Every structure is written in C-alpha cells, then in structure tokens.
Amino acid sequence: MPQPPLNRLNKLEKTHARERRVFFIWKDPGDTPADVEAKRDRLIAEGTARADDEFMHIRWRRPDEE
C-alpha cells in the first residue's frame, strides 16, 4: 500500500496533538509537598488532567492570616 504524502501525515499528527492545559492547585498553609503531589495525582487519576499538563500551586490564605 502506498504511503500517504508527508504533508498529509503531518496534518494527521497535528490534529491528534493536544495543548497543555493549566490546572490550579489550592495549597493550604498546613499542606506538605506530599499533600500537594497527592492533589495533582488525584486530578490525573480521575481523568481530569494528564501528567503532561501544567500545574500551578496557589497558596490559600484565610482573611485572618497575614
């Protein structure tokens, strides 16, 4: 069977490529690095995120904290 032209093959590969998404992980003051990793792993395990997505950690502050 003949090979499809290279430009067609590139087009097919590009349609399956996925842009990295950004997920925000809220980090409580008492969270350890292992807790933050567990939150990341939970998002991946439930299928919401993929391992190659970008994860940004946001520190959560309560109004009474400074």
pLDDT at 32: 93
- Give the predicted TM-score (pTM) of the model: 0.64
pLDDT at 39: 96
Cα angle 62, 35, 55; round to 5: 85
pLDDT at 4: 55
Give the pLDDT means over successive 10-residue stretches in the chain (66 positions).
65 70 91 94 95 91 72
pLDDT at 1: 59
pLDDT at 57: 92
Which tokens belong to 28? 């409580």
pLDDT at 28: 87
Find the helix or strand (DSSP H, E) in which 59 lies. Answer: strand 54-59
